[in-house]
A and B are shown apart, each in its own frame.
Chain A
Amino acid sequence: MYNIVEKTDPDGRQRDGLTVPSAEPSQDTQGDLRRRIEFLERPALAKAAPGVALSLGIAEIDGALPGGGLAPASVHEVCGASSLTPALGFSAALLGRAAGRTGTVLWCRRSGELYAPGLTAFGLRPDNLIVVQAKSDKDILWTMEEGLRSGALSAVLGEPGTISPIALRRLQLAAETGGTMGLLLGLEKHQTVSASAMTRWRVETAESRHPLGPWPGVSSWQVDLMRCRNGARGSWCVEWRDGYANDNPQTGGQDSDSKAGHFALVEPLRHGPHQTPRSHAGGADFELTRLAV
């Protein structure tokens, strides 16, 4: 078996023409090949400084993604199955992680329902989040493209109602030029199935859990990785453990260091451990339930 090698290897040695590969294909050879294919597919990206993939902070999910996280300088799709709100929360969390401590992120949408006190739970503050309230889908796409191309932002999230494959391809090229991550948010039925996006996520709401009683807990979602280039599909149930430690005393200690919150993997919960408080005709038994916890 022969292997065509480029003039310059990743390790810098000059080699020409055909070389005989070593007997057993090592992990290194595989990685080398993978890089080379990547180079052929997307020369602009390979040339750019290899940015750090955006890790979700969950080993299981990061392991399913090539590079250990969401690839920078590319566009990812997040779609909501029936309602947009869970997808909104999941992508807000991704955006918050992308912003990190020093970055700035851009969010373009049509309506202005985002609520600043709620965004802080996802690490999005007025000093790192810029919101564009666009008049039309065209403006959203233009804004996203400008934001991705400028290279001044950590990530750009847009909610264009529908998007054509050509527009998606444009965004992908802009993301490669600027080295910025793009997130496309929409309902599943509106989004086109296109090969341009790096990954495609489907987010549905999941029943939340509270360690102490029958109360709503932190945001939790059923997240399906529908498509991932060079990666595997997967399905997980994740929680966003935000900084309101009093809500969650068990994890309060580890929450304190990162106020913005973090993802956590949880077991899918079909029927909650706590019986739902169905009927409380009288207040007394409710009081008892509450005391018994």
Chain B
Amino acid sequence: MQAGQISNSPALLSEPLVTVRAERGGWTLAALNDAAAVAGLRPGLPLADARALCLGLKSVEADPAGDRRVLEALTDSCRRYTPWAANDPGVDGIWLDISGCGHLFGGEDILLTDLTTYLQRLGYAYRLGVADTPGAAWAVARFGGEAVSVIPSGAQASILAPLPAAALRLSRTIVEGLHRMGLRRIEDIIGIPRAPLAARFGSILLERLDQALGTRPETITPRRPVPEFRARLAFAEPISHRNGIDAVLDRLLKTLCKQLADAHLGARLVTLEGYRTDGTIAEVSAGTGRPVHDPVHLARLFREKLETFDPGFGIDVAVLGAVRTDTLPPVQAALEKNESQTGCDDGERLDYLLDRLGNRLGPQRVIRLASQARHVPEKAAKAVSALLGSPPDGTDEGGPRARRPLRLLPSPEPIQVMAPVPDRPPVLFRWRRRPHRVARADGPERIAPEWWLEDADALFSGETEARDYYRIEDEAGARFWVYREGLYRPDRAPRWYLHGFFA
């Protein structure tokens, strides 16, 4: 376990610089740089006092939201070391669970060297602590006195003993209470009976103590979900060329697909993360309609999306993770290859095609048009994504028994109609300022509102009315689907709409 404390102002400015925040009706110091600390300033000091102590002090307003964003971005970029990265809530810290990650770098100390050079290059001051428990790492990072402090495995009790009580991640009131009792160091607290401590300070004190010493477990929730399967590749030199990225992707896919195949799983969503040298991340994802562990197919899906993958000044770590997976039992490979070089059947080829279309155009744009058993024409059709596994049933059991138009307008367009009352088909109608003389007509087909589904109020107030549909053909032979809304009433001019076109 390891915790690092960062200061987000690069120690580049040699002049005293402070950030200030509005507090209790005045400006107080929020954070300061080394030069300001040497001048005797401390956080929490009013700005007026600080100006008196230090002439020519520069101040800028603190930006906690901006700090938060930078810290989160840094946390994400630290996922190059481990997927298990989290923000330390409340304070400027990052948790990294590096259990089992050391061997990727050739040892924990090499990982630490890599991390320190990385942070230095980004211009951050840092304090790192490594320990068996998050609590112990937190304590040595902030109170250990060295930039990098490593607690050997199992030695947290002896190393933590001389540290102040505040190193246990306690609130200010508890620390002050402990001070009043003369308990200044952690060893003082370890030595005394537990029950009175719990009674006086609450269970949090003992919980923090136990967590630091490792007698009570503590879980860290990672900032972003950790993919179960991932493949990682680090480079000696940053790469930015497309050919290099393609080659890296191929190697990562091979590793990942091997893992997935061994686990009898297939990927549904794969994410490629490129950790840029400047601490930002380039990210691109590819989704599939059905679980896949074929590196060739996944590579093809990524090829089309890599255009949006901007390596910036170069990426030095690439991680490929299977974010969503599904079971994919192994199948017996065919002895004879098909004529096509991929050797897959038609259904598989169709799925692959749909994956590619969906990834490039967006899954909501690749659809199947299904009918549903509804009376209202615009609700009788619905689009379902074609990427969802099995196609909907082709039978139209609930479909209409009468002929329906090939094209349906998204919303019916009003038309001016000359029609004999009460319910004769139109003789002449005008649509988009062009008159059409009706040569043939068929109807009406009355479609009543679906009272069992609709809002009863809308029905009884007359907002939704029955429609009389007519199939009509004009003298040129164009066929339309028009309707009159509502039943004929002598006191009201009938409203007519054009709804669709027959081929």
* B-binding residues in A (CB < 8 A): 83, 85-86, 88-90, 92-93, 104, 112-122, 125-135, 139, 142-143, 146-147, 150-153, 204-208, 210, 214-216, 219-221, 240, 242, 244, 246-247, 272, 274, 276-283, 286
Contacts and interface: CB of A to CB of B under 8 A. Distances in A.
Contacts of B406: 85, 88-89, 92, 114-115, 118-119, 121-122
Given A117-B380, A272-B439, A281-B420, A134 B353 contact: no
9 contacts: A89-B503, A116-B382, A118-B407, A120-B371, A127-B392, A143-B357, A205-B476, A220-B477, A276-B438
A117 B404 contact: yes
A207 B354 CA distance: 39
Contacts of B502: 85, 89, 118, 216, 219
Contacts of A214: 440-441
Given A147-B357, A280-B427, 10 more contacts: A83-B478, A115-B381, A118-B500, A121-B406, A122-B406, A126-B371, A130-B367, A216-B472, A272-B439, A282-B420
A113 B381 CA distance: 11
> Interface size bucket, B side?
35 or more
A39 to B, nearest CB: 19
A147 B353 contact: yes
Q: Which of A133, A146, A208, A216 has the most chain B CB atoms closer than 10 A to its own CB?
A: A216
A130 B366 contact: yes
Interface stretch (B4-12, B45-53, B59-67, B394-402): B394-402
A135 B442 contact: no
Of all A-B residue pairs in the complex, the 9 with the closest CB atoms, nearest first, are A89-B503, A127-B394, A152-B349, A115-B408, A116-B369, A125-B394, A116-B381, A117-B404, A205-B477
B401 to A, nearest CB: 8
A205 B480 CA distance: 12
A80 B25 CA distance: 76
B145 to A, nearest CB: 60
Nearest to B428: A278
Nearest to B422: A283
Interface in B70-112: none
A151 B420 CA distance: 55
Q: Could you tell me the dominant secondary structure of chain B's interface residues?
A: mixed
Interface stretch (B113-121, B123-131, B208-216, B383-391): B383-391
A235 to B, nearest CB: 16
Contacts of A219: 479, 502-503
B360 interface: yes
Contact of B361 (A139, A247, A272, A277): A139
B40 interface: no
B501 A85 contact: yes
Interface in B367-384: 367-371, 377, 380-384
Nearest to B372: A116
Contacts of A246: 401
A233 B381 CA distance: 39
Given A127-B391, A215-B440, A151 B402 contact: no
B307 interface: no
Given A205-B478, A206-B477, A207-B473, A117 B400 contact: yes
B120 to A, nearest CB: 46
Contacts of A93: 503
A244 B399 CA distance: 12
Contact of A126 (B357, B368, B409, B410): B368
B262 interface: no
A126 B501 CA distance: 20
Interface of B: 340, 346, 349-350, 352-354, 356-357, 360-361, 365-371, 377, 380-384, 386, 391-394, 396, 399-410, 420, 424, 427, 438-442, 471-473, 475-479, 500-503
A215 B441 contact: yes
Contacts of A92: 406, 503
Nearest to B392: A126
Contacts of B409: 113
B394 A116 contact: no
B500 A131 contact: no
Given A126-B368, A131-B368, A277-B441, A120 B399 contact: yes
Contacts of B473: 207-208, 216
B440 A153 contact: no
B440 A130 contact: no
Contacts of A130: 354, 366-368, 386
Contacts of A86: 503
Contacts of B427: 277-280
A83 B502 CA distance: 12
A214 B361 CA distance: 46
Given A135-B361, A280-B427, A242 B368 contact: no
B404 A121 contact: yes
Contacts of B477: 204-208, 220
A150 B357 CA distance: 11
B360 A142 contact: yes
B279 to A, nearest CB: 34
Contacts of B361: 132, 134-135, 139, 143
Nearest to A49: B339
A41 B340 CA distance: 24
Contacts of B400: 117
Contacts of B386: 130-131
A215 B502 CA distance: 14
B350 A153 contact: yes
Contacts of B438: 276
Contact of A216 (B350, B420, B440): B440
Contacts of B500: 115, 118
A229 B361 CA distance: 35
Contacts of A210: 440
B353 A126 contact: no
A244 B502 CA distance: 14
A219 B485 CA distance: 26
Contact of A276 (B384, B440, B476): B440
A122 to B, nearest CB: 7
B440 A208 contact: yes
A266 B341 CA distance: 47
A115 B380 CA distance: 9
Contacts of A115: 369, 377, 381, 404-408, 500
A90 B406 CA distance: 11
